[in-house]
Structure 1
């Protein structure tokens, strides 16, 4: 016979509540990301297909993030962007973002070859996703776009030269 101390005896399982998904919050986050992308990438509406810039506070360009954004697919209602960043000799994960022009929303559809996330995961899980992985990735995208907007600067090859003459 096995003896269980009183506090370790199995208790009936409480009714599990379904996970709460903040759909309005997620949709508003995707809307904000859409506008953040258009502010960060001038010419996106006019058909431009490539951007490159640096972001960071370092005085040495090698220590800053080098960001490249390219349009990989364009349709009447959607645009797909590949976003990659690197620093020195280190390559960071690649992000694929889809813009939905009719809904004016943007969301991450792939992160370093991971895609098709569920709205909620039990934790722990085999891939160690967060319980709200999809929301967390889109929240990260918003913070990252804000960082690039505040601390980014254009690469010289993307700038037009303007000749100024003194009078």
Structure 2
């Protein structure tokens, strides 16, 4: 999802990356503050995109899509009354050696149905993403940035948009005793 150059969203992203705040004179690094409206916008968009990728969520357990260079597998890990936790994992096409390095890491996402939001809770089996959000110091043992949580949710947003634009449902058709 591209952000127009003249928007505040782009300005705050540059400030968060560089640590320079032009309004305070540019020299002192401003204390990081979560951009909550943009974070919620990403989580809302992720929820809608995941709902498109997972039709009949209440009755199905897994989905498989063919994307350029491989497959996307979405599987339900846990269900409760107001939340569903799913795993998204990409795999390379069989026989395509050397393309494994393009594969994104497995992502675990929690869907909050009452709030209609989806948030990344783990990447490559390691979570919670961004730590506990308190007492943040950098550098830290995991080398996470202050806006790590925002970054992975933005990454998920872009990845889901790519999958929706380029993915195809992977189904097997059976005619009599032959598969196609």
TM-score by length of structure 2 reads: 0.69
Summarize deviations over 1:124-149 as a string: whole Å, max 9, x none.
Answer: 43322233110000000000000000
Aligned to 2:118: 106
**Separation in 1, partners of 2:28, 2:163:** 45
- Equivalent of residue 20 in structure 1, options 24, 33, 43: 33
Deviations along 1:25-70, one digit per CA (max 9) or x if unpaired, are 10111011000101122222x42111011112xxxxxxx1211111
Corresponding residue SS for 1:26: helix
CA distance in 1, matches of 2:174, 2:52: 22
- Cα distance in 2 for residues equivalent to 1:16 and 1:142: 28
- From 63, 71, 74, the equivalent of 1:51 is 63
Alignment of 1:24-35 (within 5 A): 24-35=37-48
Bigger CA radius of gyration: 1
SS in 2 for 1:131: coil
In 1, the alpha carbon distance for the partners of 2:174 and 2:112 equals 34
- After TM superposition, the structure 1 = structure 2 runs for residues 1-167 of structure 1, keeping only pairs within 5 Å, are 17-44=30-57, 46-56=58-68, 64-87=69-92, 88=96, 90=100, 92-116=104-128, 117-118=130-131, 119=133, 122-157=137-172
Taking structure 1 as the reference length, the TM-score comes to: 0.73
For the structure 1 residues 109 and 21, does the alpha-carbon distance in structure 2 shift closer, same or farther, using more than 3 Å as the test? same
CA distance in structure 1 between the partners assigned to 2:71 and 2:145 by the alignment: 28
Question: Counterpart of 1:156 in 2: which secondary structure?
Answer: coil
Aligned length: 140
Mapped to 2, the partners of 1:65 and 1:138 lie a distance apart of 22
Unaligned runs of 5+ in 1: 1-13, 57-63, 163-167
